Amino acid sequence: MSEKGEVDLTGAKQNTGVWLVKVPKYLSQQWAKASGRGEVGKLRIGKNQGKAEVEFTLNEDLTMIDSLGNKPSGVQAPRDHPFTMQTVGGQTLAVFTETQSERISLEGLVVQRAECRPAVSENYMKLKRLQIEELSKPVRLSQQLEKAVTTNYKPVANHSYNLEYDRKKKEEGKRARVDKQQVLDMLFSAFEKHQYYNIKDLVDITKQPVSYLKEILRDIGIYNVKGTHKNTWELKPEYRHYQGGEEEEKETDD
């Protein structure tokens, strides 16, 4: 019984209500620094003359703001954050979770939306200023160099790469012709893997000189000039035996 994909609907059935709260970036950063059980602050819900008032107070120890590079700046995060309550409206917002094992479960429905706003204070202004300063720094920087850079490209008599290539060529030598039968065997096994081959690839595979190889190919194969497989060689139909293909494979007797 595959569990995957099956959504656990307990949250929906119990009509669990949750709040969706929009929290400023700096505050969520501070919360990420929480230690222990993760206590970050206190939420005070009050009823003041019929209107609900909700306020969040950040814990003292989480008010140190780190600027870029994790240095403590002189700025402190504001502590008081009244929540602005909003209705969900007609929209149905459900909350679902996904575990690493890909189990999906419905946690509940959003019954209240809120925005966490910082209470305007001196601290907050400083914080904002810090943020703006950091953002206004240009991403790219033009810097004048005192000395020209000379370490990259130097003229060389012959590149090392070229030297290696020449050496390799000499070592391999010209390709030698082997028996026609052997070449045919190699070709047939190659064509078993793919239907179309470039002449260069065949030369690589068989290590035969081009003209000799072409002679053999003219015997058993055809050269596609047009179509999708342009300039490729393939076996003649009577030699082919592909899955879903037609004729029987015939072995050439030489």
Partner 1 sequence: MASLGGSSSSSTEYIVRVPKNTSKKYSIMAFNSGDKVNCSSWTQARMERDMSNRRMYGVEETEEGAAGSEFGKKQREEARRKKFGIVTREFKVEDQPWILKVNGKAGKRFKGTKKGGITENASYYIFTQCPDGAFEAFPVNGWYNFVPQAKHRTLTAEEAEEEWGRRNKVVNHFSIMLQRRLREQERGPDDDDEEGEKGGKKKKKKGGRGGDLRIHDLEDDLELSSDESDSSGGEDGDSKPKKKEGDVKGKGKKKKKKRGSDSEANEDSDDGDFEGLEVDYMSDESSSEEEVGEEKAKSNKEAVPKGIDEASESEEESEEEKQNEEEGKEEEEEEEGKKTPVQTKKKRDSSGESDTSEDSDIDGEAASALFMKKRTPPKRGGGRGSGGSSRTGSRPGTPSIDSTSTSNTLRAAASKLEQGKRQVVGGSSESPAAKRLKMESSSTAVTTQSPAPSGKSTPQPPSGKSTPSSSDVQLTEEAVRRYLIRKPMTTKDLLKKFQTKRTGLSSEQTVNVLAQILKRLNPERKNVNDKMHFYLTE
Nearest to residue 64, comparing CAs of 55, 76, 49, 52? 76
For the bound state, the minimum distance from the C-beta of residue 61 to partner 1, rounded and expressed in Å, comes to 14
CB 112 within 8 A of CB 95: no
Q: Which residues make beta-bridge pairs with 52?
A: 47
Least distance CB 40 / partner 1 (angstroms):
5
Q: Which is nearer to partner 1, 101 or 143 (CB)?
A: 101
Q: Which is nearer to partner 1, 163 or 189 (by Cβ)?
A: 189
Q: In a 10 Å sphere around its CB, with 0-12 CB exposed, 13-18 middle and 19+ buried, how is residue 34 labelled? A: middle
**Would you say 9 and 108 are in contact if contact means Cβ atoms under 8 Å apart?**
no
CA angle 77, 82, 85 (to 5 degrees): 140
- The 109-148 site mask, x for binding partner 1 (CB under 8 A), equals xx--------------------------------------
Residue nearer to partner 1 on the CB measure, 22 or 167: 22
Binding partner 1 (rule: CB under 8 A), the pick from 131, 180, 229, 252 is: 229
Burial degree of 229 (CB within 10 A; 0-12, 13-18, 19+): middle
Give residues 61-90 in contact with partner 1 (rule: CB under 8 A): 89-90
Smallest gap, in angstroms, from Cβ of residue 169 to partner 1? Answer: 22
d(Cα 46, Cα 115) in Å, to the nearest integer? 16
Minimal distance in Å, beta carbon 65 to partner 1? 16
Scanning residues 24 to 53, which ones bind partner 1 (CB under 8 A)?
24-25, 28, 31-32, 34, 37-50, 53
- Regarding 100 and contact with partner 1 (CB under 8 A), the answer is yes
* 188 binding partner 1? (CB under 8 A): no
Closest approach of Cβ 113 to partner 1, in Å? Answer: 10
The answer to whether the beta carbons of residues 205 and 194 sit under 8 Å apart is no
